[in-house]
Amino acid sequence: MRILAIGDIVGERAVRELGALLAAAAKKYAPDLTVVNGENAAGGRGLTPALAADIFAAGADVITTGNHIFDKSAIFDRLDADPRILRPANYPAERPGVGYCIVPVGGVRVLVGNVSGTVYINDDSLASPFLTAESILRRNASDYDFAVFDLHAEATGEKLAFARYLDSIRELRVAAVWGTHTHIPTSDVRILPGGTGYVTDLGMTGPQNGILGIRSDIIINFTKDHLPGKFEVADGQTALEGVVFDVDPETAKSSLVRRVKL
């Protein structure tokens, strides 16, 4: 099976152009399952029901998110109603939504999980992503054939440690782990010793001008002079960034991991 994981959508224009980009990706890579991080679709921070619907219409099978998922209260009811829109599972249980879903794909049951890192993330409500993911996998062991995880995290070391931890417990059948959040694609696509496909960060899907998809002047003022400002999405050509994982469902191992940029 082929899993296409797409990096953080930044802004409404990227959502509008996602259909054409995913159609091009489908023609080139023919994925069986497409997972898109919708963390920054709403003007760079959060997600709305309408944008989620547009992302699904563009070709996503599952939407993962991260630390901005609760920025737009309009999404709360949709999180509870649609299990294909995930929020990090290690937020408190009383928050809206769920952190994983099991998707049937051609007779294969794929568990798609979403957790948040805690290193450099200023949120004391987050539980351990390691223990949360392991608990999900053990509770659902008889209900899925292999699992993939989006770890939305700041620290590169935490992302790799998370992937190596799950890779070391082969009975959990984790076939792929990818990182999101930093919007910078990393070159470390690899297959870990146990067979888990891995990349530290998928990158982003958004405008190429600006800084991480946001207007350069706003980010420069914030980082250079510590002046706050409302995020505004940059202009420039939209690029889609992500990774393709080829997975053997019988062994729950990745056989090939490739970068995608369109």
Distances in whole angstroms, Cα of residue 222 to Cα of each of 41, 219, 226, 228? 21, 5, 4, 6
Question: What distances in angstroms separate CA 116 from CA 36, 74, 199, 222, 245, one per listed residue?
Answer: 16, 21, 16, 24, 21
As a whole number of Å, the end-to-end CA separation of the chain is 21
Residue 120: count other Cβ atoms within 10 Å of its Cβ. 9
Q: Is 226 known to be catalytic?
A: no
**Nearest CA among 44, 79, 75, 41 for reference residue 58:** 41
Known catalytic residues are: 68
